Structure 1
Amino acid sequence: MTSLANAVFKRYLAVRPHQAVQARGKKKSSSSFDKFFPQQDNGRKKQWEVLNEDKASWFKRKYAHVHAREQDHTADPYGKRKAHVDKLKEIKVQAKLDQKRHKSKFPNRNIVQKLLNDNPLLEYVYGTNSVYAALLNPGRSSHSRVLYYGSIPAKILQKVNELKIATELVDKHRLNLLTNYGVHNNIALETKPLQPLEIAYLGDVDTTAADLTIHESGFDNEEVVHSLPYSTREDSKGFPLGLYLDEITDPHNIGAIVRSAYFLGADFIVMSRRNCSPLTPVVCKTSSGALELLPIFYVDKPLEFFTKSQEMGGWTFVTSHLADATAEKYTTGKALSVHDLNGMCTKLPVVLVVGSESQGVRTNLKMRSDFFVEIPFAGSGTHERDPDRIVDSLNVSVATALLIDNILACK
């Protein structure tokens, strides 16, 4: 046995001599085992030992709810869960049936009806005053029919009978669709859109006959002259007053301006064709029908319109603006206060120019203006909640109304 052991050990020495030296008694140096695997602190007690509680009971008390979450909740011994789910499905199915039943009351429009309702040659003027004013406007070449719900107001019915216009009783839903859910007052007029005259410039003013000339660009650059009467007031208005709207894209603002201009006594309105909102039924409704009663013209070349009107007709252009550094070079020596406008129409014909709230009047039009006017801020200093003066201007329709009133006033 001893000889066999010696033979094995010799063989081991031949294969791993360095390990055999350590095995023979050479003191092993301290390895990194103690460094990376320190001995456990036997003085540290477990949590259940601190609480003097059994390990099994401590784990059961602490983690019992975790096992409860894993329990099977699909069991429904009394069928209550299934009954609740079936009831929810039944409610959902019934809601879909009610929606289909509601839609079935209104027949779907086919492609022909859609093209007819989206016809660019037709529009639907809505609202009691707007419909009545449209019936009085000779500029509307033709009317197709009057759609109403309930009954037609007496004054509209009388005019409809005079013009022999067809009427059709419809429901409110159809009126809502035709007017894009506007305040239609249960009546709408199917008619052709307005086609304002496109003019080149304003001509001479005849104060004796109280009319002015408007020059229209015809074919082959031939000018067609139109005569337009204007209103006069004793000691306050001997010359006409017009408005020029530049880049006002909100139809509600345009409608409010038209309403104020008609009410306060302006004679006509000129708009840039390319930069302003078109004269839609929304504008007519916002103006309460004044759109149909006040002459409105389009201009394709605003710069030429300003220059020729000043040279050929002697018109004075007064532009509203905000005093800022970028406009100072155009307003030097031309700035007027609001009170300086009083009685201006007793001396010369005036065109008041107003622009959008964000950008105002364009710079090239400012350069061709005769005077500039600004409505000063009259607030009581800077408010504690508004240190940067957030409200620093008026709505364009309100500002226009104030300026018109000052121009036509004579104090």
Structure 2
Amino acid sequence: MLVFTSAAHQLRLLHVWGRRAYKPVSVSRVGSQFASYHVTASLLHPEDRRINPVVRKQHRHKPAVPDGRRDHERSVQSKVWKKEIPLLQRTNQRKGDNHKVSSELRKLCLEDFPADTERPVTQRSTLDSKAESHEIVFGIAPCLLALTQGRRNVHKLFVKDGESSHRASVLRVCEEALRRGVQVQRVTKKDLDRMSSGRVHQGVCLQASPLSYITEDTDSTPNRRDTPVWLVLEGIQDPMNLGAILRSAYFLGVDRVTSSLRHSCPLSPVVSKASSGAMEVFGVYGYENLEDLLKLKVTQGWQVVGTVGAGADQPQIGVTQCSDFQITRPTLLLIGGEGEGLSQELLSLCQTLLTIPAGRDLIPGIESLNVSVATGILLHSLLFSRRSTR
């Protein structure tokens, strides 16, 4: 009669006996005691419910009958495996213990990592094939403002199925869509990820007509109390930068944003999301030739103010710190594109150049600001001076 002294010894012997059939070597009953058993190699797998190869001698058991023997074997095996399974596996058995997790965290887990068996069966998302000129707007604020502002032709709203659709912000978008007769369709998160190209959609996507630059020039500043300020962008190519600039311009009170049409990024859904929906409210004017616009405005009494980095050498034009500049008449603030800044053609038309002073000695390579951050600082300085001279 064999008694294995260690689990490692046991596993080595099992490889040798792996092909032998399951049979008792000896079964002797003294009272209600059982001897050890040889078993097949299938016992190496914890899901196999037969007897474990390590069975202690002198283990008490009820009188042996076929069913009772199976119950005993299962009982012994479960006790041995309970000692041998890794701690991580035992920890995973407590997945249902959710009372220690906050309700907010459980909600996020359900939304982002739902169990496969709990995923709702949803209708396959279908973009209208007839709406070939449409694009997908994504995000709560862009979708809501696209619905309310009426600058787009809206076709269909897609909403993530599940608990996230019950959030107040999502419900507001759905209610606005239904109020305007826009079809609302529930889809999976995977569908929304595909529609938004993997960007942050916040559970909603809207199929709508695209927005473009406004090319018809109209005077939007008659009879103003404040001195008008226009923001002129040349060659902004990053949609995230353009969106952030539009958001700051709208928030701080710029009267108009104009942009070069050449070498500039289009007004895409990415720009709308980066602007937190300001692009849906704030029309952006586009010009093929910014030089003609600046020359026209100079004849109308406007001043042209350019921007340069700290320490830039412009001997023919005065450079002023933005905090020292005061707006006294209608102003065009010119912002150049990432990397290159303003072109020489536009710089030659500037009457003053503004710069943002640094707060420390700068290491070469990081001596400048992101264009959207610099624009926000300059606009705040200029528009604050406009308010102070009322």
Q: TM-score, normalised by structure 2?
A: 0.62
CA deviation vs aligned residue, 1:133-192 (integer Å, no higher than 9, x gap): 11122221x111000113272322232122111111111111101100111011011000
Matched, 1:335 2:319: yes
Whether the 8 Å CA contact 2:303–2:351 is kept in 1: the answer is: yes
Give the corresponding residue for 1:285: 273
Unaligned runs of 5+ in 2: 1-14, 20-40, 42-120
Aligned partners of 1:252, 1:389: CA distance in 2, in Å? 25
Matched to 2:346, the amino acid is L
Query: CA 1:186 to 1:281, structure 2 compared with 1: closer, same or farther past 3 Å?
Result: same
Query: CA 1:338 to 1:143, structure 2 compared with 1: closer, same or farther past 3 Å?
Result: same
- Return the index of the structure with the highest Cα Rg: 1
Question: How do 1:148-227 and structure 2 match up within 5 A?
Answer: 148-150=159-161, 151=165, 153-199=170-216, 205-206=221-222, 209-210=223-224
1:400 corresponds to which of 345, 363, 375: 375
Supply the RMSD in Å over aligned alpha carbons.
3.1
Matched, 1:144 2:131: no
2:364 corresponds to which of 381, 389, 392: 389
Give the corresponding residue for 1:56: none
Matched to 1:361, the amino acid is L
Whether the 8 Å CA contact 1:205–1:239 is kept in 2: the answer is: no
Q: Percent identity?
A: 27
Query: CA 1:108 to 1:133, structure 2 compared with 1: closer, same or farther past 3 Å?
Result: closer
Give the corresponding residue for 2:92: none
Matched to 1:145, the amino acid is K
2:134 corresponds to which of 105, 110, 122: 122
Residue 106 of structure 1 and its aligned partner are, at CA, apart by 11
Aligned partners of 2:188, 2:281: CA distance in 1, in Å? 30
Give the corresponding residue for 2:335: 354
- Three-state SS of the structure 1 residue aligned to 2:137 is strand
Question: How do 1:7-406 and structure 2 match up within 5 A?
Answer: 116=129, 119=132, 121-140=133-152, 142-150=153-161, 151=165, 153-199=170-216, 205-206=221-222, 209-210=223-224, 232=225, 238-311=226-299, 313-322=300-309, 328-329=314-315, 332-342=316-326, 344=327, 347-379=328-360, 381=361, 388-406=363-381
Residue 337 of structure 1 and its aligned partner are, at CA, apart by 1.9
Extract structure 1 runs of 4+ deviating beyond 6 A.
76-80, 105-109
Whether the 8 Å CA contact 1:336–1:373 is kept in 2: the answer is: yes
Residue 257 of structure 1 and its aligned partner are, at CA, apart by 0.6
Q: TM-score, normalised by structure 1?
A: 0.59
- Three-state SS of the structure 2 residue aligned to 1:148 is strand
How many equivalent pairs are there?
267
- Three-state SS of the structure 2 residue aligned to 1:409 is helix
Whether the 8 Å CA contact 2:213–2:267 is kept in 1: the answer is: no
Aligned partners of 2:257, 2:319: CA distance in 1, in Å? 23
Unaligned runs of 5+ in 1: 1-75, 84-104, 211-231, 233-237, 383-387
Query: CA 1:264 to 1:191, structure 2 compared with 1: closer, same or farther past 3 Å?
Result: same
Matched to 2:293, the amino acid is F
Query: CA 1:185 to 1:162, structure 2 compared with 1: closer, same or farther past 3 Å?
Result: same
CA deviation vs aligned residue, 1:23-79 (integer Å, no higher than 9, x gap): xxxxxxxxxxxxxxxxxxxxxxxxxxxxxxxxxxxxxxxxxxxxxxxxxxxxx9999
Aligned partners of 2:302, 2:172: CA distance in 1, in Å? 40
CA deviation vs aligned residue, 1:197-254 (integer Å, no higher than 9, x gap): 1146x76953xx32xxxxxxxxxxxxxxxxxxxxx5xxxxx12211111111111001
Aligned partners of 2:310, 2:130: CA distance in 1, in Å? 47
